[in-house]
Structure 1
């Protein structure tokens, strides 16, 4: 259904163009669920925006994004608009700003139904109310004409999910859908997304920095750093093997239940470099305790570690330099 080959995205900087996504590959079939994890700035959200044809001004993409055999990169916006909100939909990262503050929420949920499915105003209203009820908005008919500021953060996130699901898309992209929500609301939103994906047979791409969210929600995981996938595979395998040093660093930095009071969290040495300063070789070189000169010289090859499991590292033996 979705196939991404060698996706590269460059962004303008004060020091010239810099690669923010470097050679990303994705293959996703109907009903499959995929997670993208990594630190802020690793290219997760930019990848999601590229799939939607919503890259920021000045960004340039190359490679291939094919949807049902149709190439999307380079397509005019009018063509992409027929897919966005229809066959491919997205739940954006921040529920506080994802909704238009000057339009009632009901109109925003009904809009894709009228635009893509040709429903009348009355039909779209009825369908939108049903969608709002399905995602847990109480008294949806009475609140149809309410404005976003009259809802809590969790309710707004539910409304954005209703908007994304309005036309029954084949692919749902959820970019940090639980950001800024408390733990109880996080669980409710994730349960809702999981139930709707299973119910409608959609594919799901879930972008998150929360390892617990990924573990409970998706079948396969891509670990990204510096715009590159450094480890990929079935979620259980990636989480248990932690083959790449960066993957191990992410897991070591998690808070642990039962840890003694005052225990300091492990950290990954150094800071994420600027895009223009990423090394020519492994993007994690320099922050990794296993770095040797060869790590900086050339991008590491992808090493197959098991069925569907791979990592990009020349130090997978784990021996210190």
Structure 2
């Protein structure tokens, strides 16, 4: 049996700050098989986007990545910039959060979609332009040929996001990374973009890493989910198992804070539950549980020892918590 398409082991990302180095991702492990879909979820600052940028070799200046990110057995963290340029846009595609800042405002849409094709394939400029027309049609842009010479500012937010998807898909990558792909889009367009990504991934057989803070999006889109807090994975497994049997206090807190329709349309609605306390400072994190100071179940060992991953259900679902049995008894109510 062949190994995983992507294997991440002990991934760390350290950022330079005025107070010294801060570790934004700490010891992250996961595998991704061909055709598999993985969701990474957590609140802002938990390390989701830094993980994506580390996989792409696009970390901010001064940041350092450690561990191993193996794509087909090749460690990307040890690869040269030239080698990473060969892989980005070719075997690795990425949809960034905000297309208006990711698309070049000085270049026409057709040229930007054609660029990875000219870099990574033998297509002529004319052939790449025709391929760009096909890609725009594939992602649902009406009258795609007439849009080739448009500039980003001449398109709506949803159209710009579709252009970003077309660029990411241009060379049929093995892995598509979508980092908050529906940020700043209205609900109707969000649904269209997510349906499009899901359909394209299923049709092509590529693997998907979807990064989001929206648990509903994750539940409807991916096979497996990984919950992050303060740079670490705290719970992971098949999405239906994890959401049916949340075993980490932080994951349960996230679900409790999801807005829900009041029963029978009752008004006024009760306030949403919140997770007490604040996200810990990345400079002050030790090896023990980073969630301990915000957790109602925390005890002495939670602040002294790193919690082990505890298996649940089929065995592929686990949570890093000393008190998983007690955590499962915590209420998940929201504004129900």
Q: TM-score range by the shorter chain?
A: over 0.9
Normalised to the residue count of structure 1, the TM-score between the two structures is 0.97
Task: Judge which range, 254-263 or 80-89, deviates more.
Answer: 254-263
CA distance in 1, matches of 2:313, 2:73: 28
Which residue of structure 1 aligns with residue 164 of structure 2? 160
1:73-222 matches, cutoff 5 A: 73-222=77-226
Please tell me whether residue 287 in structure 1 is matched to residue 294 in structure 2: yes
CA distance in 2, matches of 1:81, 1:138: 31
Question: Residue 155 of structure 1: SS of its match in structure 2?
Answer: helix
* Deviation at residue 88 of structure 1 after TM alignment: 0.6
* Deviation at residue 279 of structure 1 after TM alignment: 4.1
Which residue of structure 1 aligns with residue 277 of structure 2? 270
Which residue of structure 1 aligns with residue 44 of structure 2? 40
Which residue of structure 2 aligns with residue 314 of structure 1? 322
1:20-39 matches, cutoff 5 A: 20-39=24-43
Q: Which of 235, 238, 244 lines up with 2:239 in the alignment?
A: 235
Q: For 1:9-41, what per-residue CA distance to the aligned partner results, in whole angstroms no more than 9, with x for missing partners?
A: 111122211211111011111100000000000
Normalised to the residue count of structure 2, the TM-score between the two structures is 0.93
Which residue of structure 1 aligns with residue 310 of structure 2? 303
CA RMSD of aligned residues (A): 1.2
Unaligned 5+ runs, structure 1: none
Task: Judge which range, 256-265 or 3-12, deviates more.
Answer: 256-265
Question: Residue 294 of structure 2: SS of its match in structure 1?
Answer: coil
How many correspondences in the alignment?
320
Q: For 1:20-75, what per-residue CA distance to the aligned partner results, in whole angstroms no more than 9, with x for missing partners?
A: 11110111111000000000000000000000000111111111110101111121
**Stretches (4+) displaced over 4 A:** none
CA distance in 2, matches of 1:11, 1:98: 22
Question: Residue 73 of structure 1: SS of its match in structure 2?
Answer: helix
CA distance in 2, matches of 1:161, 1:301: 38
* Deviation at residue 278 of structure 1 after TM alignment: 2.6
